Structure 1
Amino acid sequence: MFVFTDFRLLAAGQTLSWIGNGFQTVALAVAVVQAGGGAGDLGLVMASSVTFTLFCSLFGGVWADRLQPRNVMIVSDLIRLAAAAAMAAMFFGDAYHLPLLCALAAISSGAGSFFSPAMTALRPLLIPADRRQSANATLSMLQTGSSVIGPALGGLTVAAFGAPAGFTVNATSFLASMAACLLLRTRATRGPRSSMLRELGAGWREISSRDWLIGGLFGATLYHVANGVILVLVQVVAIERLGGAASAGFIAAAEGFGGMIGAAVALRFKPRRLLRAGWLTLLLMPFWALAYVWPAELIAVLAGAVIGYAGLIFFDVAWETALQDQVPHSALGRVASWDYLTSFLAMPIGNALAGPLSARFGTDPVLTVCAAVLFIAGLSQLLIPGSRNLTRATETTAAPVTPPELAATTTG
């Protein structure tokens, strides 16, 4: 059945793209610093990227539900390829220009905000419903592994050949992703369109009509604010108390290893109430944060990173599978875009709060309180009947697509 071939194509293309992103992460920081830009310039580039991600997220979901997801992904890859190639040309020619770099980063991130909902909308069409959890776990494992391999290879490449080489590799990875998307044969059923605001509202009604989904989004928002604080402070603790840059590298590797374990568990462990299991495993993350406070030893932090990130990735698989099982395909892109928006909006808020809070109350108390917030945000979801009782789809074929005449107006 060709959908399995399409899934393999998607997985291969995305793995190369995820690895390429790691090259650009390293190349961008090195290029800006070596050009004399410093932290201020790098911060502006990153802020431009986040701003356009926020601005484009909801619109990306609407277009993912309006058009063929494959076509949205192809155009997104083409735009990101051009942006990465332009960055490579800028630094290869020693023509550093901060406003242009900010614009290119914004364009690339905005295009990515269209790609992600489209990929979410496409995935359930590529695999039978009873194999979605395994497919999501496979993609999570590939993405987590790429997040470790990409920066490592990127660092070696940039060190040997310079920052332009890192941007060039990333551009090439988008070309590979685009080629894979061009070969996809799966098509989605699409119905008549309505206004942008009306379609956004229909997507929100899909969320608000499901207690587990609306509760999960609000819980995730609280979770991401606290986690945004934690992710800043643990870097400071790692550098100042646990051995410096080498320790930070070991911790990042442990987080990646934990993510791989979580994805591997999700491949094998398939409880009927998968979402409930996901929220329970997410309760492991606070222990990772608390390890920086007590016993505040590197070995404990490494163990906490493995355990915590295993729980986090298992939850990610459970959440993605629940969305694909329960949300009508005609609205899946828009629901996914609301989901992405809460993450991108909440995380920078937490990042910005980390400095003032730690200066006022101290690093250890803030980490302790934020770990408690993570625990409460996860535990509270188990009070919601839908989160406790939602069951996995067991059909051996893909979930039915909403008929075309209902596709633009279905609200669940």
Structure 2
Amino acid sequence: MTRDFRLIAIGMGFSWLGNAFQTVALAVAVITTGGGARDLGLVMATNILTLLAGTLFGGIWADRLQPQRVMVASDVIRFAATAGIAAMFATGGYHLALLCGLTVVSAAAGSFFNPAMSALKPLLVPAEDRQKANATLSLLQSMCGVAGPATAGITVAAFGATIGFSINAVSFLASMAAVALIRVRAPRGPRASAVHELRAGWFEVRSRNWLFANLLGASTYHVANGVILVLVQMVAFERLGGAHAIGWIAAAEGLGGVIGSAIGMRFRPRRLLFAGLLALPLMSVWAFAYVWPGTLAAVMIGAVIGYAGLLFYDVAWDTSLQENVPHRVLGRVSSWDYMTSFVAMPVGNALAGPLSDRFGTDRVLTACACVLLAASVSMLLVPGCRRLIRTGQPAPDPVHSDPALV
């Protein structure tokens, strides 16, 4: 792999480790200071809504500027916001409004980071190595998901949530330093208006039925996933062992990701996206495990199975985008991907508390697991999703005929 690829791997590795501490610290901090599913769901919904509000603009600037500049600025802002959250809990005060406000700042910066990262990745390696590179980053993320949460669970349980937020803040500085050293430069053309540039990205989405179908299917998927991600934290904390259980389950999810990423590195089917979609329904196994048999061991096994399928799908999806979407519009297409894929998640986050209060946690989790399964299978019904062929070549020229829009 190239020097620039090694740098992005180092930077993202530090960031992913830090995020593992954030995941554990947030749930523990909110619950132990008197909040419940409603507060945790509101914070998570605030995070997702802010990401949605800024992602399309992040895609525009990822295609206008050098993507690593966008990523560096994002890391600086996220460091400051996360350090502020750590300071709030360190002083012994829990203010939901302040937590949501700092979450808005951090998520807004993150909404620019993700499309820029998507635009940068295919520039770091030759076209024929993109699946391997995507799998390598996915494998690294999953390894961090194994080491980070287990360490975070032990650390937060021993020293409190503040240390978790502090470690995450420092990780953003490490990511910033690594990304700032990347030398690759993306070709950039003349700019058009923001509206025209957004339309160009959307036209590229609509012109590919496999891409449009995955975005619609993912929207339905994440309605249920938004509910699940709140309730499983509560179940893990209240029924399965507290902070230690949250950490060990997250580690099992990371182990599943390691397996899925390793498969993505070696398994190179001609119909890569089809293979990824066959693996995605395994996530419903993870959700069902919280209901039956509902033990920590069963949930961890379900997490390994489900996240192996999810991470293999992620490798297949990233590679399909990079091989079939022109780089000049990749940031914008990726931003539409993020926005439409997760548009329903904050609704699920916000509904988690009311639904569980009315119908019971187990019934809601069962229903949402069924939705995950149905949404995953529905994408296989679209011919383009089954027939898309892996090329190992650079992406084609943009579909849109108006150069002002690309």
TM-score between both structures, scaled by the size of structure 2:
0.87
Residues of 2 paired with 1:367 and 1:200: CA distance? 36
**1:273 maps to 2:271:** yes
Indicate conservation of the 8 Å contact 1:27/1:166, yes or no. Answer: yes
Indicate conservation of the 8 Å contact 2:47/2:103, yes or no. Answer: yes
Runs of at least 5 residues in structure 2 that lack an aligned partner in the other structure: none
The AA in structure 1 aligned to 2:390 is R
Change (3 A) 1:386 1:109: same
Q: Deviations over 1:279-337 (max 9, x none)?
A: 00112222333344455555444333222211111001111111111111111111111
Task: Find the counterpart in structure 2 of residue 386 from structure 1.
Answer: 384
The AA in structure 2 aligned to 1:309 is Y
Task: Find the counterpart in structure 2 of residue 121 from structure 1.
Answer: 119
Task: Find the counterpart in structure 2 of residue 138 from structure 1.
Answer: 136
Task: Find the counterpart in structure 2 of residue 375 from structure 1.
Answer: 373
Change (3 A) 1:166 1:359: closer
Task: Find the counterpart in structure 1 of residue 282 from structure 2.
Answer: 284
SS in 2 for 1:324: helix
Change (3 A) 1:42 1:269: closer
The AA in structure 2 aligned to 1:253 is A
Task: Find the counterpart in structure 2 of residue 312 from structure 1.
Answer: 310
Residues of 1 paired with 2:39 and 2:282: CA distance? 37
Q: Deviations over 1:11-60 (max 9, x none)?
A: 100110111223334445566677x5744766655444333222111111
Change (3 A) 1:205 1:352: same
Indicate conservation of the 8 Å contact 2:150/2:248, yes or no. Answer: no
Higher deviation after alignment, 270-279 or 158-167: 158-167
Residues of 2 paired with 1:188 and 1:304: CA distance? 41
The AA in structure 2 aligned to 1:108 is S
Task: Find the counterpart in structure 1 of residue 14 from structure 2.
Answer: 16
The AA in structure 2 aligned to 1:15 is G
Displacement, 1:71?
0.8
Change (3 A) 1:92 1:134: same
The AA in structure 1 aligned to 2:182 is L
Higher-Rg member (1/2): 1
SS in 2 for 1:382: helix
Displacement, 1:99?
4.7
Task: Find the counterpart in structure 2 of residue 190 from structure 1.
Answer: 188
SS in 1 for 2:221: helix
Percentage identity across paired residues of the two chains: 64
The AA in structure 2 aligned to 1:338 is W
Change (3 A) 1:246 1:75: closer
Task: Find the counterpart in structure 2 of residue 409 from structure 1.
Answer: 405
Task: Find the counterpart in structure 1 of residue 205 from structure 2.
Answer: 207
Change (3 A) 1:75 1:363: closer
Higher deviation after alignment, 153-162 or 14-23: 153-162
Residues of 2 paired with 1:166 and 1:369: CA distance? 33
* 1:221 equivalent among 215, 219, 222: 219
Indicate conservation of the 8 Å contact 2:218/2:375, yes or no. Answer: yes
The AA in structure 2 aligned to 1:83 is A
SS in 2 for 1:284: helix
The AA in structure 2 aligned to 1:204 is W
Indicate conservation of the 8 Å contact 2:216/2:341, yes or no. Answer: no
Task: Find the counterpart in structure 1 of residue 64 from structure 2.
Answer: 66
Change (3 A) 1:234 1:133: same
Indicate conservation of the 8 Å contact 2:218/2:342, yes or no. Answer: no
Task: Find the counterpart in structure 1 of residue 344 from structure 2.
Answer: 346
Runs of at least 5 residues in structure 1 that lack an aligned partner in the other structure: none
TM-score between both structures, scaled by the size of structure 1:
0.86
Change (3 A) 1:228 1:325: same
Higher deviation after alignment, 72-81 or 87-96: 87-96
Higher deviation after alignment, 278-287 or 95-104: 95-104
SS in 2 for 1:286: helix
What is the count of residue pairs matched by the alignment? 404
Indicate conservation of the 8 Å contact 1:62/1:200, yes or no. Answer: yes
Task: Find the counterpart in structure 1 of residue 106 from structure 2.
Answer: 108
Indicate conservation of the 8 Å contact 2:154/2:247, yes or no. Answer: no
* 1:56 equivalent among 37, 47, 54: 54
Indicate conservation of the 8 Å contact 2:78/2:106, yes or no. Answer: yes
* 1:321 equivalent among 310, 319, 324: 319
Task: Find the counterpart in structure 1 of residue 328 from structure 2.
Answer: 330
